[in-house]
Amino acid sequence: MNRRQLLSWIGTGLLALWLPLAPVHAQPDPLPSWNDGPVKQAIVDFVGRVTREGGPDFVPPPERIATFDNDGTLWAEQPIYFQVEFALDEIRRLAPQRPEWKDKEPFLSVVAGDLKSILVAGEKGLLEIMAVTHSGMPIDEFTKAVRDWLATARHPTKNRPYTDLVYQPQIELLSYLRANGFKTFIVSGGGVEFMRVFAERIYGIPPEQVIGSSGVTKFEIGADGKPTILKEPEIEFIDDGPGKPVGINRFIGRRPIFAFGNSDGDLQMLQWTAAGNGPRFMGIVHHTDAEREWAYDRQSHVGRLNKALDEATARGWTLVDMKRDWRIIFP
Amino acid sequence: MNRRQLLSWIGTGLLALWLPLAPVHAQPDPLPSWNDGPVKQAIVDFVGRVTREGGPDFVPPPERIATFDNDGTLWAEQPIYFQVEFALDEIRRLAPQRPEWKDKEPFLSVVAGDLKSILVAGEKGLLEIMAVTHSGMPIDEFTKAVRDWLATARHPTKNRPYTDLVYQPQIELLSYLRANGFKTFIVSGGGVEFMRVFAERIYGIPPEQVIGSSGVTKFEIGADGKPTILKEPEIEFIDDGPGKPVGINRFIGRRPIFAFGNSDGDLQMLQWTAAGNGPRFMGIVHHTDAEREWAYDRQSHVGRLNKALDEATARGWTLVDMKRDWRIIFP
């Protein structure tokens, strides 16, 4: 035995001693905020199956597309969608410069903080609020307004910045999927230009992987010769319900193998995912924790989960029981 | 001098001997199909500057967005856009099953191979040809039709499969950019669902990084309970001219730092790229090689390069002279 053989033999011996310990030491739990149980197991099993090279369920990395709804799936959505809170705050911020709003609804109620009157005024008032805060400016200006708002605004009851109200277990799930060669996308009814401001920082999802609702935009060269993209008031695309598979087809061009939602607005995305060939994972967050978060489903005005709850049960999709399955909710 | 110092000194000495040779041996030319000259140098300099960590022009990888037009920039576009050739071949393939086309223009001329009559019939006839071959079917069926066509069709004069008519220097450029942390996108007036069939295989660009023109699509659950996405005849988005920055904003949500086109339809994409802060690269392929490819610019009915040629010259954008700068054109 020469020196090289000896070293090699010692090396192998050490490796043999080390191996039985390796799983415990080398691989910390990638989903520490998920409680052990059937849901966590289903996720880990699925990822194991599609990444096992040579296995019957192996999926090549470029086809490992995972899509997530945002409101109620990646961050909270109560008492109203955070983007609506942004719009209401924007009205208050802009009101001093807009004397024409002084005696006009819905602006009067917004400035007075009278949420009930706004809701009574109905959809027309809300659409007007969304239009004046989301159009009529260059895209850069809108992005700045969202960034400024996120830096200072706080949730009315949780008293934390909105970006703190993301779900820690889902942040871990996104990272876990990416570490296993998945490409993670947001597919949300929320405004695409709103979500892109924070999606990269809080979810690790770059702007080009955020799909959402959008308004018409227009390219223009200003008097100063500088090109801008202007946000126009017309709605261009509603990325909700049947709009979700349409958006997935338009923006990704490939069918997801993994999709997560929390409401009836996600049903068609889940159906479209389920109908593909090969292994599939369909998940739904069920809001069951009135203490740590909120509890709501079939009757909720925000994030109603009714038809999709029936279909998930009937078809054996994975239902996350927030109270049971999530050890930690917010970071 | 102890042994360690000696070894270190020898090491340094060897390194000094080695260094002048290193560029030749360690780094093969990443752009072998580009002739040496100012254009190749401008590309290599730009990539060097934005990737030099700590340098004044460093751009973090997530912001290294590069957008390329397709027709005339990544593959050829003469005598007519290849997607139009596909549509004409589809009419011929489908005609036996469509008796209602028998005595009707433009179908009559297409089946007869009478291209002149089709062009005389004008835009209306061409739009009808595009509509019947690009809508009224599920997306999967359209994808299959394109795939089948690409496998058998041959270019009328070059007598090669269309996917062989890609530009080898641009294939190398795409790889070179990706190897340097760029994310490469197609931003083309061509149909997004047409390009996605081959973009990954021939350019290494996955479907989710292909932006193009699109028709309206509709999500439907069939009588068999199976969901489909149907291609409808209405046009939804024209990704050309001012539509290019609009499409970039909608699909990428970030401004490119590197853009390449070849015609006036790319002008606004180049203007939008140029108007950002920090280092920028704007490139235009000028078709100057009548022998190996085609020579055309200001008067061409396909890929007209007129205004953008003036602006490129005035603003010092990089003009690729195909004849001078490309050692090889097709693979």
State yes or no: pLDDT of B176 exceeds 70: yes
Average pLDDT over residues A157-186: 98
Average pLDDT over residues B226-245: 96
Q: Check residue A119 and give its pLDDT.
A: 75
State yes or no: pLDDT of B18 exceeds 60: no
Q: Are the Cβ atoms of B246 and A208 closer than 8 angstroms?
A: no
The reply to whether B49 and B113 lie within a common domain is no
Q: Check residue B9 and give its pLDDT.
A: 46
Task: Closest CB to B254: pick one of A65, A208, A221.
Answer: A208
State yes or no: pLDDT of B15 exceeds 80: no
Average pLDDT over residues B287-300: 98
A190 shares contact with chain B (CB less than 8 Å): no
DSSP A3-50: HHHHHHHHHHHHHHHHGGGHHHHH---S-TTBPSSHHHHHHHHHHHHH
Average pLDDT over residues A304-323: 98
Q: How confident is the model at residue A125 (pLDDT cuts 50, 70, 90)?
A: confident
State yes or no: pLDDT of A2 exceeds 70: no
Out of A109-118, A315-324, B50-59, B310-319, least confident range? A109-118
Q: pLDDT tens across A247-277, in order?
A: 999 999 999 999 999 999 999 999 999 999 9
The reply to whether B197 and B148 lie within a common domain is no
Task: Closest CB to A210: pick one of B242, B253, B272.
Answer: B253
State yes or no: pLDDT of B25 exceeds 70: no
Task: Collect all residues of chain A within an 8 Å Cβ-Cβ radius of residue B254.
Answer: 206-208
Q: How confident is the model at residue B323 (pLDDT cuts 50, 70, 90)?
A: very high
The reply to whether A188 and A88 lie within a common domain is no
State yes or no: pLDDT of A7 exceeds 50: no
B143 shares contact with chain A (CB less than 8 Å): no
Q: Check residue A127 and give its pLDDT.
A: 85
Question: Which residue from A295, A291, A272 is spatially nearest to A282, judged by alpha carbons?
Answer: A272
State yes or no: pLDDT of B150 exceeds 70: yes
Structure tokens at A254: 């490939």
Q: pLDDT tens across A10-19, in order?
A: 554 444 444 4
Tell me whether residue A296 is in a domain: yes
* Domain region containing B91: 82-152
Say what the alpha-carbon torsion angle B223, B228, B233, B235 is, to the nearest 10 degrees.
150
Q: How confident is the model at residue B184 (pLDDT cuts 50, 70, 90)?
A: very high
If one counts every other C-beta atom within 10 angstroms of the C-beta of residue A193, the result is 24
What are the φ/ψ torsions at residue B198 (nearest 5 degrees)? -120, -10
Say what the alpha-carbon torsion angle B52, B58, B60, B62 is, to the nearest 10 degrees.
-100
Q: Are the Cβ atoms of B275 and A227 closer than 8 angstroms?
A: yes
**Alpha helices (H) in chain B, listed in sequence order:** 3-18, 22-26, 38-51, 82-94, 107-112, 115-121, 123-134, 139-152, 168-179, 192-203, 243-251, 267-274, 307-315, 322-325
Q: Are the Cβ atoms of B193 and A246 closer than 8 angstroms?
A: no
The reply to whether B52 and B99 lie within a common domain is no
Sign of CA dihedral A136, A89, A196, A248: negative
What's the rounded Cα separation, in Å, for the pair B216 and B230?
9
Higher pLDDT, A248 or A118: A248
Task: Round the average pLDDT of chain A to a whole number and report it.
Answer: 92
Average pLDDT over residues A98-115: 89
The reply to whether A131 and A203 lie within a common domain is no
Tell me whether residue B17 is in a domain: no
Q: Are the Cβ atoms of B229 and A246 closer than 8 angstroms?
A: yes
Average pLDDT over residues A50-63: 98
Tell me whether residue A9 is in a domain: no
Q: pLDDT tens across A280-313, in order?
A: 999 999 999 999 999 999 999 899 999 999 999 9
The reply to whether A166 and A296 lie within a common domain is yes
Classify strands B258-261 and A258-261 as parallel, antiparallel or unpaired: unpaired
Count A/B contacts: CB-CB distance under 8 Å: 88
Q: How confident is the model at residue B326 (pLDDT cuts 50, 70, 90)?
A: very high
Q: pLDDT tens across A228-249, in order?
A: 999 999 999 999 999 999 999 9
Last residue of a domain, one of B152, B168, B187: B152
The reply to whether A202 and A300 lie within a common domain is yes
Stated pTM of the model:
0.91
Out of A43-47, B1-5, B96-100, B315-319, least confident range? B1-5
Structure tokens at B322: 């195909």
B314 shares contact with chain A (CB less than 8 Å): no
Q: How confident is the model at residue A212 (pLDDT cuts 50, 70, 90)?
A: very high
Sign of CA dihedral B213, B219, B223, B226: positive
What's the rounded Cα separation, in Å, for the pair B292 and B169?
14
Question: Which residue from A187, A162, A163, A147 is spatially nearest to A65, judged by alpha carbons?
Answer: A187
Q: How confident is the model at residue B122 (pLDDT cuts 50, 70, 90)?
A: confident
Last residue of a domain, one of A152, A168, A191: A152
Q: Check residue A121 and give its pLDDT.
A: 73
CATH for A62: 3.40.50.1000
Q: Distance, in angstroms, between B96 CA and closest chain A CA?
A: 31
Tell me whether residue B66 is in a domain: yes
Tell me whether residue B73 is in a domain: yes
Specify the amino acid at residue A196.
Answer: R
What's the rounded Cα separation, in Å, for the pair A127 and A205?
28
Specify the amino acid at residue B124.
Answer: K
Average pLDDT over residues A55-72: 98
Which residues, including other chains, have CB under 8 Å from residue A254's CB and lie 6 or more apart?
A: A63, A65, B206, B207, B208
DSSP one-letter code for B242: T
Structure tokens at A291: 């203490």
Q: Check residue B14 and give its pLDDT.
A: 47
The reply to whether A198 and A267 lie within a common domain is yes
DSSP one-letter code for A284: E
Average pLDDT over residues B216-220: 97
Q: Check residue A9 and give its pLDDT.
A: 45
Q: Check residue B116 and give its pLDDT.
A: 80
Higher pLDDT, B165 or B15: B165
What's the rounded Cα separation, in Å, for the pair B219 and B159?
39
What's the rounded Cα separation, in Å, for the pair A217 and A235?
10
Tell me whether residue A18 is in a domain: no
Q: Distance, in angstroms, between B300 CA and closest chain A CA?
A: 26
Is residue A211 within 8 Å of residue A248, measured between CB atoms?
Answer: yes
What's the rounded Cα separation, in Å, for the pair B91 and B110?
7
Q: How confident is the model at residue B124 (pLDDT cuts 50, 70, 90)?
A: confident
The reply to whether A129 and A252 lie within a common domain is no
Structure tokens at B8: 């270190």
Which residues, including other chains, have CB under 8 Å from residue A8's CB and lie 6 or more apart?
A: none
Is residue B134 within 8 Å of residue B294, measured between CB atoms?
Answer: no
Structure tokens at B326: 């490309």
Average pLDDT over residues A113-134: 84
A254 shares contact with chain B (CB less than 8 Å): yes
State yes or no: pLDDT of B140 exceeds 70: yes
For tokens 């994310």, name the residue.
B183
State yes or no: pLDDT of B2 exceeds 80: no
Q: How confident is the model at residue B40 (pLDDT cuts 50, 70, 90)?
A: very high
Model ipTM value: 0.90
Task: Provide the number of structural domains found in chain B.
Answer: 2
If one counts every other C-beta atom within 10 angstroms of the C-beta of residue A140, the result is 11
State yes or no: pLDDT of B324 exceeds 60: yes
Task: Round the average pLDDT of chain B to a whole number and report it.
Answer: 92
Task: Collect all residues of chain A within an 8 Å Cβ-Cβ radius of residue B214.
Answer: 250
The reply to whether B201 and B308 lie within a common domain is yes
A135 shares contact with chain B (CB less than 8 Å): no
Q: Are the Cβ atoms of A219 and B183 closer than 8 angstroms?
A: no
The reply to whether B273 and B211 lie within a common domain is yes
Tell me whether residue B4 is in a domain: no
Tell me whether residue A6 is in a domain: no
Q: Check residue A15 and give its pLDDT.
A: 46
**Alpha helices (H) in A153-265, listed in sequence order:** 168-179, 192-203, 243-251
Which residues, including other chains, have CB under 8 Å from residue A98's CB and lie 6 or more apart?
A: A107
Question: Which residue from B87, B303, B71, B263 is spatially nearest to B166, judged by alpha carbons?
Answer: B71
What's the rounded Cα separation, in Å, for the pair B16 and A327?
59
Q: Check residue B4 and give its pLDDT.
A: 55
Average pLDDT over residues B65-79: 97
Specify the amino acid at residue B26.
Answer: A
Task: Collect all residues of chain A within an 8 Å Cβ-Cβ radius of residue B222.
Answer: none
The reply to whether A72 and A113 lie within a common domain is no
Average pLDDT over residues B233-238: 94
Q: Are the Cβ atoms of B249 and A221 closer than 8 angstroms?
A: no
Last residue of a domain, one of B131, B152, B173: B152
Question: Which residue from B313, B308, B215 is spatially nearest to B269, judged by alpha carbons?
Answer: B308
Break chain B down into helix, strand, coil percent, rounded to 5. 50, 20, 35
